[in-house]
Chains A and B, each alone.
Chain A
Amino acid sequence: MKTRDLAYIALFAAIIAVLGTLPAVTIGPVPITAQTLGVMLAGSVLGARRGFLAVLLFLVLVAIGLPLLASGSGGLAVFAGATAGYLFSWPVAAFVIGWLTERFWARYNVAWGVVFNVVGGMVVIYLVGVPVLAAVANLSLGEAIVSGALPFLPGDAVKAFIAAAIAAQVRRSYPVIERPQRAVATR
């Protein structure tokens, strides 16, 4: 991995951190943190590998004691909490989004981007986050879905669209993902 890739990874880790300081977008009843927007952006701008590493790096920064999560929390405590599953799912989400984006790079547009972001940024995150929530909080799966997935649906849909719109614009002006074949093959 080149130093340039490391710089992009560090940049997106920082972007996710700074998104946590933005005032929450207020659409609907649940305050929506902008940080999953950063996760979606990392995947769709950097691609699978670098996107995954950027989000992982962000989590490492949180774990070593920086209060970078949207609520101003951080440290190892958050990884023991009920929402830990969501955090652990973020790198996977970025990877899935990045993989899909690389696959369809030649045809990438806002519509495809929304699809990829929904698959990676919502389905994957809920698939990991909700069962962990259920286990840690001793809830049944149904209860966990009601409290841990449904409230986020509208906000996440909006973020999937915003991330796709930005990614499509960045792709036109400053593409970071290279040809899909090379992006997969280089190690």
Chain B
Amino acid sequence: MTLALYVPRRSVVHRVPAGGKLLALAALAVLLFAVPTLPVVVAALLGVLAVGLGAARLPATALARQARTVRWWLAGLLVFHTLFSDLPTAAVTVLRLLALVLAAAVVTATTRVTEMVAVIERLCAPLRVVGVRPARIGLVISMALRFIPVLAERADRIREAQAARGGSARGIRGLRTTVTPLLVQLLQMAHTISEALDARGADDVPPARGRRSPAPAA
């Protein structure tokens, strides 16, 4: 299971801090919805392509892969607005969506998952005030990242075992004999892991500095 849409390259775009790229993306979205005219939208689209394919040296396939998911929407929108609105509206709507999707794809392809996690931890820093510990957010993200391949492997193994026996886990019986026991096993596994983490000090609350109330658990 490939786990990332990141495309490693040595480029200026890759080196821009993740937070800056996310801000630029948000600004572009605001601009495109505030000024929905054809020249602006076309300029944005060309700009995004220039940054992605030119400056970041991403292969066109990397962007196409992410744009693929919206292709039917774009096609449907184009047909719909050509029939029921007018051609300019159709063009603006479709190109705007395409520009935003591609811009987001460029950010995703040029930014490592770990950098994004760091941005999230930083963004969550103000939440300290309400008792959320950013480090715990990093912890829960890493746990989920670790669980995904584990679960995928278990699901595969069950599918293979069932295929080998010539049966399938369909229907209510399948739920009772396969799915629920698996889910219970996974819940127990999560519980065990959390105990192991706590034993290694994961639940330790960092010393509160001059705070009136003791730091609540995040």
Contacts and interface: CB of A to CB of B under 8 A. Distances in A.
Contact of B70 (A4, A15, A45, A81): A81
A21 B153 CA distance: 11
Contact of B100 (A11, A64, A80): A80
B50 interface: no
Contact of A170 (B102, B111, B184): B184
Contact of A82 (B68, B70, B184, B194): B70
Contact of B108 (A77, A137, A138): A77
* Secondary structure class of chain A's binding surface, majority of residues: helix
A132 to B, nearest CB: 13
Given A18-B151, A82-B70, A166-B179, A3 B197 contact: yes
B12 interface: no
B15 interface: no
B17 to A, nearest CB: 14
Contacts of A166: 175, 179-180, 183
A80 B183 contact: no
B218 A1 contact: yes
B101 A81 contact: yes
Interface in B110-152: 111, 113, 116-117, 120, 136, 139-141, 143-148, 150-152
A22 interface: yes
Nearest to A174: B184
Interface residues of B, number: 74
B175 A162 contact: yes
Interface string A1-20: 11111111111011101100
* Secondary structure class of chain B's binding surface, majority of residues: helix
A60 interface: yes
Given A64-B117, A65-B5, A57 B184 contact: no
A4 B66 contact: no
A11 B97 contact: no
- In this complex, the interface size class of chain A, counting residues with CB under 8 Å from chain B, is 35 or more
Contacts of B11: none
A123 interface: no
Contact of A57 (B22, B104, B141, B194): B141
Given A64-B116, A166-B179, A170-B183, A14 B144 contact: yes
B155 A2 contact: no
Given A73-B66, A82-B70, 20 more contacts: A2-B194, A3-B202, A7-B191, A8-B187, A10-B146, A11-B189, A14-B144, A14-B150, A18-B152, A41-B183, A65-B111, A66-B145, A72-B69, A74-B108, A77-B101, A143-B80, A169-B180, A173-B180, A173-B184, A187-B216
16 contacts: A2-B194, A3-B139, A6-B194, A10-B140, A13-B144, A17-B151, A57-B140, A61-B145, A66-B4, A69-B69, A75-B105, A76-B25, A76-B104, A77-B66, A77-B105, A79-B104
8 A-B pairs with the lowest CB-CB distances in the bound complex, closest first: A75-B108, A64-B116, A14-B147, A76-B104, A10-B143, A73-B69, A77-B104, A7-B190
